[in-house]
Amino acid sequence: MVLWVFGYGSLIWKPGFDFDEKVLGFIKDFRRVFDLACIDHRGTPEHPARTLTLEPKEGAVCWGIAYCVRGGIEKERATMQYLEKRECEYDKKALVKFYKVTKSSHVLPLVQSLICGCHLYRFISTPDIIANRYYLGPAPLEEMARQIATANGPCGNNRDYLFYLEKAMLQIGHEDEYVTELANEVRRVLGVLKDNKAFDPHFPVKPKLSLIKTVPLLQEATVLDSR
């Protein structure tokens, strides 16, 4: 049995679990968005951070790293338990297909140089601000930047999460324009805040959310991350 874990956020630079292989690739028809609240890692209930989830977008390509976990059901279960705790703001899982680029046809159009991988699992956040208290939804760029610039939690501040992601995407050779634009706006906001100490944003999170449902391990599955 094999477990595939696809990282599109912090798992790119900090997987946090043992793996046997990693592969650069992408999924189709989804894009990163900073629409998910984090209240226990890089934010608090009073001032939640903004972290990643995925939203459907036809024609989009989301690059990341797929990690292969081999070694039997116990190793897979340990990995899933770790990820369930780390990705606790998600409330739904769904299947997605992963693609990787071959080494032999790098000069051909991308669609001609792909090997289609297995169907994969991913964690997602239900885009419903009533049903899912962790879903913040979209906001103007400046508003998101102010929230990210000022949020802090037990695992660090929100802006470093964004800046690490920006750097990681450059290192794997697939810059994300949305991430870069948001990071640049956060830098601008940080510059303004140096001269304006009175800024104190507040982004409340709704009080209740049922725990994420546990999905039985499949023979081949992938999990996606937000942090």
Q: How many structural domains comprise the chain?
A: 1
Report the predicted TM-score, pTM, of the whole model to 2 decimal places.
0.77
89 is a catalytic site residue: no
Closest CA to 189 of 222, 225, 141: 141
Specify if 168 maps to a domain: no
Predicted confidence pLDDT, tens digits, the chain (227 residues):
688 888 899 999 999 999 998 989 898 999 999 998 988 889 999 999 999 988 889 999 999 998 888 888 899 889 888 887 777 665 555 667 888 876 654 433 233 333 334 444 444 556 656 667 788 889 999 999 999 999 999 989 999 999 999 999 999 999 999 999 999 999 999 999 876 765 554 444 444 333 333 233 333 445 455 55
The beta-strand segments (E) located in 8-110 are 21-38, 49-69, 92-101
Residue 86 to residue 226: CA distance in whole angstroms: 9
Specify if 152 maps to a domain: no
Residue 158 and residue 43 in contact, taking contact as beta carbons nearer than 8 Å:
yes
Specify if 171 maps to a domain: no
Domain enclosing residue 55, as ranges: 2-137+205-221
222: which residues sit within 8 A by CB, 6+ positions away?
3, 4, 5, 6, 66, 96, 98, 118, 120, 121, 122
Specify if 226 maps to a domain: no
Specify if 109 maps to a domain: yes
213: which residues sit within 8 A by CB, 6+ positions away?
91, 92, 93
**Catalytic site residue from 21, 46, 58, 87:** 87
Specify if 200 maps to a domain: no
Specify if 151 maps to a domain: no
Specify if 46 maps to a domain: yes
Residue 198 to residue 67: CA distance in whole angstroms: 44
Task: Retrieve residue 183's tokens.
Answer: 């990071």
CATH number of the domain residue 16 falls in: 3.10.490
